[in-house]
Amino acid sequence: MRTALIQGSGGLGSALAQVVIEARVFDQVILAGRGQWSMDAPHTQIRTVPVDLTSDQSVAEAAGRVRSWCERLHLVITTAGVLTDPSRGIAPEKKLTELTREAFQSVMEVNCLGPFLWLKALYPLIKHREPVTIATLSARVGSIGDNRLGGWHSYRASKAAQNMLTRNLALELGRLNPNAVVVGLHPGTVDTGLSKPYQKGVSPEHLFTPAQSAAYLWSVIQALTPADSGQVFDWKRVRIEP
């Protein structure tokens, strides 16, 4: 049985879930997140499980549920990400003087540590020898070499750290399974809650709908090979430098 697991019920998480379900290449699609899912597909078994990636207990419980539904995962996508959250004092910093311990730690938790502790909890299901693809949604601004504007300290740092853990997991898993692919993906600028406050300067042709971006990312995922493992690609399948 081939199983896909998609984490995150936000703009891109929901759109990716839709695309993966409609592709009909998995017998079972598991949707994990804090929000609600409204997916229906008579041809595919769809299961949902609540998970908050910032809670060890929630991650352990959710991973336990996933383990009860399948012996192996063949596609794992994580979409957790936060850029702005006024309720927790999170806003993209323009200057170093705006950096705070609380906001930095919260952004790191959701964007980097959470997804990889989630993958750790799922490890027994991904360390097999069949083809498996693990994709975490990253961002171009996580590239150190591409950073010419500065700012957004916490978000940039969290995505750069996420990219490092992506490379590490690719190396570690690749030793066990030559058919494993672990990548970061940049979805473009997408019209979701995360980007809403920052869309002013973006021309309409460069602002994707979640469905558009998900379709591009699905094409990228389908074309990946083990030689791509450890790298970050954008929605056009162009490699983003570390």
Ligand X SMILES: NC(=O)c1ccc[n+]([C@@H]2O[C@H](COP(=O)([O-])OP(=O)(O)OC[C@H]3O[C@@H](n4cnc5c(N)ncnc54)[C@H](OP(=O)(O)O)[C@@H]3O)[C@@H](O)[C@H]2O)c1
- Residue 28 or 199 with smaller CB distance to ligand X: 199
Q: Which stretch binds ligand X (CB under 6 A): 74-82, 97-105, 124-132, 233-241?
A: 74-82
Interacting residue with ligand X among 92, 184, 187, 230 (CB under 6 A): 187
SS3 157: helix
Q: Does 92 bind ligand X (CB under 6 A)?
A: no
- Residue 170 or 190 with smaller CB distance to ligand X: 190
* Calpha distance 41→31 (Å, rounded): 13
SS3 189: strand
- Residue 11 or 230 with smaller CB distance to ligand X: 11
| CB of residue 137 to ligand X, shortest distance in Å | 4
The candidate with the shortest Cα–Cα distance to 191, out of 37, 11, 6, 18, is 11
- Residue 130 or 241 with smaller CB distance to ligand X: 241
Q: What tokens were used for 6?
A: 């998609």
Q: Which stretch binds ligand X (CB under 6 A): 41-49, 167-175, 183-191, 231-239?
A: 183-191
66 and 83 Cβ atoms separated by less than 8 Å = no
* Segment 10 to 29, residues that bind ligand X, using CB under 6 A: 10-13
Is the four-CA dihedral 226, 228, 233, 236 of positive or negative sign?
negative
| CB of residue 32 to ligand X, shortest distance in Å | 8
Q: Which residue has the tokens 């959470």?
A: 114
Helices (H), the chain: 11-23, 56-69, 101-108, 114-121, 123-126, 153-176, 210-223
Q: Does 110 bind ligand X (CB under 6 A)?
A: yes
* Segment 190 to 209, residues that bind ligand X, using CB under 6 A: 190, 192-195
Q: How many of the chain's residues bind ligand X (CB under 6 A)? A: 28
Question: What is the distance of C-alpha 203 from the center of its chain?
Answer: 25
Taking the CA of residue 3 as centre, how many other CA atoms within 13 Å lie in the half-sphere pointing to its CB? Answer: 19
Interacting residue with ligand X among 5, 20, 29, 137 (CB under 6 A): 137
Torsion of CA 78, 55, 166, 104, to 10 degrees: 110
SS3 205: helix
- Can you spell out the DSSP letters for 111-139? IIIHHHHHHHHTHHHH-SSS-EEEEEE--
| CB of residue 109 to ligand X, shortest distance in Å | 7
Q: Which stretch binds ligand X (CB under 6 A): 17-25, 31-39, 218-226, 230-238?
A: 31-39
Interacting residue with ligand X among 3, 133, 166, 189 (CB under 6 A): 189
- Residue 44 or 154 with smaller CB distance to ligand X: 154
- Residues found near ligand X in the complex (CB under 6 A): 8-13, 33-35, 52-54, 79-82, 110, 114, 137, 139, 186-187, 189-190, 192-195
